[in-house]
């Protein structure tokens, strides 16, 4: 009743008294046109009397569907959900509402439509009038209406209002065109919906016009019937007119039915398009929410980028400061190092100054000479150690050379043995065949035919015996063990060993089978002898037994012949394989012998070169030792000169003391005598001068004797006379010259040592390169010879042909 009171508060064409009067949709459409005449348009033109008739339930249903679509597509303002299409309300039962509105299904559908109309009218823009009308109602009606609105609100999903508000707020900011395609599709569908709605309205107008014409025809028919009653004379004409009117009515009814069907189809298409539009609107809402989220994330991304740029700039600044700090730290370290170097240089300068001050003393020079002697001795020891190392290497090379020569002698002996064997084979010195075969034993037994057939199993090998094969196999195994083959040779040797093992197994099997057959033949011979020596009474039985035994023997003979043929074929194959293996082994041995011969030649040549180099090095070492001895002699001579000078200085100091004592004695004597002071001074001066001159004469004479005895101080060396005034300076210059010569000799010795080391390294590298090149040349030559030789066939037929050729060549 609250909904009825709410709808009656509007100005309707007719007042609603009962709730089922809302089932035609006319009152609801009038109320919604009052709320929004633009969206809910063309309402009055459709409200005709034909819709109110109970027979036109189809028109009622179409009107209700159209109202429902308009309610779902109506756009609501921002505080509320965007439209009722987002709600979870089920679709009302329009047919039940149009046919029987008082039924439970029809009443529930009508209540749902009424509540939707109430909610839209309350939430629509300009809802102040609607709210004032609701407030004018009673409190009970107001409460029930509010409950109805709350029931509609509960059908929306949670958070839809907040998302709607956020989307509305974000519409102010520029958003990227994410849903442009969906918006275009939505606009297209809305345009199509408007076109279909216009067509539906045109069809409704046509239906209304047809229904009006039908009513007019009915009224005309009623008038004609009323006129036909008083006028009986015109009965025939009225009948004709009634028939014509009934036919026109039928045609109009048919046109109306077709129009209604066409209208139903159009409304169905319109409903589909409305659903599509609703789904697209939902998609657009979701995309708008996503666009808002994307814009928000974009803003956050811009903020993060800005923050990252700031951090990058700060990191660059920090890196610059770090570089500056590192540079300053490096400068500090360099400054500290320079200070330390300066301090060390200052200390060294002080030390040098102190040493220069103490240069006249003998201890410093003796220490220097001792250090020089120790350095020269250490160099001599190093050279001795190097010579010892070279001698050890030479001894090891000689030992290896001896081993290689021994191996070469062994290989040469083996090669001679193989050559002698080949000569014997070429001259036809084959080993003697065995005189008898296994068939002779059966011949001695007496059964000639059967023994000959069994003896066909034993086929003697042409030209070789088993003992010879065993010897050759053992020799080959020894050669394989001595040669130490490579990986490929080891694979070949393993295959060869496998073949030899198979051959030995087959040989043993053949021997066992032969012995077993020989025993069976002996047993058969014994049984035959026994049968022949049997008494005459059992002749028939013995004949039968003999026949049966002969049949068995014939069958056994056939099987044995087949086995013998198979064994012969297998033995021939094994012999061919063994011959191929022997040829491969001979080829491998030849290659290895050539390689060993080439290696021995290269090693012998390299050993000769190394011996020559060692002799040259020994000569150099001996010359260096002689030079070192001369240097040591010069050093010893200089040391002796220094010691003599020191002793001369000591003696001079002693003589000066003695002279002072004499002067003091003379002064005392003169002081005691009566002599003037001037005379005393002259006497002391003359005595002092005489003493100095005597001392200088003795000193210069001693130097002259040493210079005459010294071979370095030759007359052509430009030495001044010891009797000159600059004699002492000349000796000092001589000492300096000798020091310079000693220094030059040391530098020359060091340069010679460096040059000798460099020459030794170059000789060793050249020696190693020459050896590697020689080995490569030998390997290349061996490979060329192997390639130039006839290739070994790999197919079975080719191997068989090669074996036959080798056998024919051996026989020749």
Dump pLDDT digits (tens) for 188-208.
777 777 777 777 777 777 777
pLDDT (mean) for 396-417: 78
Residue 291 to residue 285: CA distance in whole angstroms: 10
Assigned architecture for domain 1-157: Orthogonal Bundle (1.10)
> Ranked by mean pLDDT, which of 29-43, 163-177, 235-249 comes out on top?
29-43
* Lowest mean pLDDT across 36-40, 99-103, 312-316, 437-441: 437-441
Is the pLDDT reported for residue 675 higher than 50? yes
Residue 565 to residue 645: CA distance in whole angstroms: 115
pLDDT averaged over the chain?
71
**Confidence band for 546, pLDDT divided at 50, 70 and 90:** low
**Confidence band for 231, pLDDT divided at 50, 70 and 90:** low
Helical spans, DSSP H, in 456-538: 466-483, 487-532
Q: How many whole angstroms from its chain centre is CA 163? A: 49
Backbone angles phi, psi at 234, to 5 degrees: -95, 30
Residue 109 to residue 505: CA distance in whole angstroms: 103
Is the pLDDT reported for residue 331 higher than 60? yes
Residue 401 to residue 647: CA distance in whole angstroms: 62
**604-660, pLDDT tens digit by residue?**
777 777 778 778 877 877 787 787 777 777 777 777 777 777 777 777 777 777 777
**265-288, pLDDT tens digit by residue?**
877 877 887 788 788 888 888 888
CB atoms within 10 A of CB 212: 13
pLDDT for the residue 634: 76
Q: What share of the chain is helix, strand, coil (3-state, %, to 5)?
A: 85, 0, 15
Angle between helices 487-532 and 438-445 (to 10 degrees): 0
Residue 438 to residue 442: CA distance in whole angstroms: 7
Is the pLDDT reported for residue 540 higher than 80? no
The answer regarding whether domain 159-307 maps to CATH 1.10.3470 reads no
The two three-digit tokens of residue 365, written as one number: 């020079």
Are 280 and 188 contacting, i.e. CB atoms less than 8 angstroms apart? no
> Ranked by mean pLDDT, which of 12-16, 486-490, 597-601 comes out on top?
12-16
| Residue of 242 and 282 predicted with greater confidence | 282
Query: Is pTM beyond 0.75 here?
Result: no
């Amino acid at each position: 009743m609250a909904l009825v009171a709410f709808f009656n508060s509007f100005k309707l064409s007719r007042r609603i008294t009962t709730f089922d009067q809302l089932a035609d949709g006319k009152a609801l459409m009038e109320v919604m046109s009052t709320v929004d005449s633009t969206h809910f348009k063309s309402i009055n033109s459709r409200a005709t009397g034909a819709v109110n008739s109970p027979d036109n339930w189809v028109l009622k249903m179409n009107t209700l569907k159209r109202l429902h679509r308009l309610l779902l597509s109506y756009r609501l303002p921002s505080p509320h959900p965007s439209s009722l299409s987002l709600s979870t309300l089920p679709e009302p039962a329009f047919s039940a509402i149009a046919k029987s509105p008082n039924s439970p299904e029809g009443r529930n559908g009508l209540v749902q439509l009424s509540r939707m109309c109430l909610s839209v009218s309350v939430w629509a823009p300009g809802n102040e009038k609607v709210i004032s009308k609701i407030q004018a109602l009673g409190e009970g009606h107001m409460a029930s209406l509010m409950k109805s609105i709350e029931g509609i609100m509960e059908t929306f999903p949670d958070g839809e209002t907040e998302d709607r508000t956020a989307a509305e707020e974000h519409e102010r900011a520029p958003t990227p065109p994410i849903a442009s395609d969906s918006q275009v599709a939505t606009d297209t569908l809305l345009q199509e919906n408007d076109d279909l709605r216009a067509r539906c309205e045109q069809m409704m107008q046509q239906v209304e016009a047809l229904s009006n014409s039908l009513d007019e025809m009915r009224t005309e028919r009623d008038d004609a019937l009323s006129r036909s009653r008083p006028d009986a004379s015109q009965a025939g004409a009225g009948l004709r007119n009634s028939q014509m009117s009934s036919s026109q009515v039928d045609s109009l009814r048919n046109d109306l039915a077709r129009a209604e069907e066409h209208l139903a189809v159009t409304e169905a298409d319109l409903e589909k398009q409305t659903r599509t539009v609703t789904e697209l609107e939902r998609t657009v809402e979701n995309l708008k929410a996503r666009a808002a989220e994307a814009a928000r994330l974009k803003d956050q991304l811009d903020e993060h980028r800005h923050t990252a740029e700031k951090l990058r700039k700060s990191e660059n600044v920090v890196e610059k400061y770090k570089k500056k700090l590192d540079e300053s730290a490096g400068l500090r370290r360099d400054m500290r190092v320079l200070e330390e170097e300066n301090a060390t240089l200052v200390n060294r300068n002080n030390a040098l100054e102190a040493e220069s001050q103490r240069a006249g003393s003998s201890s410093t020079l003796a220490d220097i000479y001792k250090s020089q002697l120790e350095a020269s001795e250490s160099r001599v020891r190093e050279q001795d150690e190097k010579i010892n190392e070279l001698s050890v290497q030479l001894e090891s090379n000689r030992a290896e050379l001896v081993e290689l020569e021994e191996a070469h002698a062994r290989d040469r002996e083996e090669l001679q043995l193989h050559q002698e064997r080949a000569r014997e084979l070429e001259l036809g010195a084959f080993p003697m065949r065995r005189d008898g075969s296994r068939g002779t034993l059966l011949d001695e037994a007496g059964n000639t035919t059967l023994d000959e057939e069994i003896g066909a199993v034993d086929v003697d090998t042409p030209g070789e015996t088993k003992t010879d094969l065993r010897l050759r196999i053992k020799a080959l195994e020894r050669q394989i063990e001595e040669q130490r083959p490579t990986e490929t040779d080891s694979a070949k040797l393993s295959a060869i060993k496998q073949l030899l093992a198979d051959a030995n197994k087959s040989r043993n099997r053949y021997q066992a089978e032969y012995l077993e057959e020989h025993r069976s033949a002996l047993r058969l011979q014994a049984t035959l002898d026994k049968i022949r020596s049997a008494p005459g009474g059992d002749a028939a039985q013995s004949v039968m037994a003999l026949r049966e035994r002969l049949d068995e023997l014939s069958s056994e003979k056939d099987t044995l012949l087949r086995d013998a043929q198979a064994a012969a074929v297998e033995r021939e194959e094994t012999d061919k394989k063994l011959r191929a293996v022997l040829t491969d082994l001979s080829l491998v041995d030849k290659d290895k012998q050539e390689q060993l011969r080439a290696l021995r030649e290269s090693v012998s040549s390299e050993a000769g070169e190394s011996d020559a180099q060692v002799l040259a090095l020994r000569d150099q070492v001996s010359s260096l030792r002689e030079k070192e001895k001369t240097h040591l002699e010069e050093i010893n001579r200089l040391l002796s000169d220094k010691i003599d000078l020191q002793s001369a200085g000591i003696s001079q100091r002693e003589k000066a003391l003695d002279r002072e004592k004499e002067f003091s004695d003379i002064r005392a004597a003169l002081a005691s005598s009566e002599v003037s002071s001037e005379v005393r001074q002259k006497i002391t001066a003359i005595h002092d001068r005489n003493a100095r001159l005597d001392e200088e004469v003795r000193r210069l004479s001693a130097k002259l004797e040493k210079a005459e005895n010294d071979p370095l101080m030759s007359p052509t060396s430009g030495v001044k006379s010891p009797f000159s005034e600059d004699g002492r300076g000349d000796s000092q210059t001589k000492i300096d010259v000798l020091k310079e010569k000693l220094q030059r000799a040391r530098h020359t010795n060091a340069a010679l040592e460096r040059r000798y080391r460099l020459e030794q390294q170059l000789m060793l590298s050249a020696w190693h390169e020459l050896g590697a090149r020689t080995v490569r040349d030998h390997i290349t030559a061996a490979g060329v010879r192997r390639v130039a030789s006839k290739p070994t066939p790999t197919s079975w037929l080719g191997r068989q042909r090669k074996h036959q050729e080798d056998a024919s060549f051996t026989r020749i």
